[in-house]
Amino acid sequence: MDEKIRVDCSGEKEVGGRRRFRVLLVLTLVYVAALSLSAFMDLPKLFIRNEWSELGVNVFLWRLAISLFSWVWSVVLVCILMRMHRGRRLLGREMPWGMYITGTGLMLASFLFPFVDGYTIEMGLFIQFRDFFTIDGVPFVIGLLCLILGYILRIGLACQNEVEETI
């Protein structure tokens, strides 16, 4: 019964796959940045030539919303890359805030877009209060899920900070 308990407090172990993750992160950042830039470059053309009426209100509004979310996630991905480059942990304040902004934006879009003339709810999931107030249900639910995920990420970050302070 002479067991010895060994605890290794020398530091964090290196997580495998870091290089592959960095390559994947850079490719995602390039794609998201290109998506946001191309969407914003098309906006003046859509407004000047009134092409948004040919596209349809739904396509125009969601293209605008996705380009805004792409800008937010471009910033989040750049912050993650900077954290990786400095050798710090990946999970920071940027991820929960990106989720909060995306969730809030989707919920606002689900409230505001149905008020635009010509907007139609495509998926059939909607919440309606009498005849004057409609919520597009699909982006509303996705926004709620983003807010919940952001909260879970924030709690995880707080737990991680607490563990690091304890050690």
pLDDT by position in tens, the chain (length 167): 566 766 555 555 555 667 888 888 889 888 888 888 887 777 777 666 666 666 777 877 888 888 888 889 888 888 888 888 887 777 788 889 999 999 999 999 988 888 888 777 777 667 667 666 778 888 889 999 999 999 999 998 888 888 877 76
The pLDDT of residue 124 is 64
The pLDDT of residue 16 is 60
The pLDDT of residue 52 is 64
Q: State the DSSP string of the chain.
A: ---------S-PPPPTTHHHHHHHHHHHHHHHHHHHHHHHHHHHHHHHTTTHHHH-HHHHHHHHHHHHHHHHHHHHHHHHHHHHHTT--S--THHHHHHHHHHHHHHHHHHHGGGSTT---SSS-EEEETTTEEEEHHHHHHHHHHHHHHHHHHHHHHHHHHHHHH-
The pLDDT of residue 92 is 81
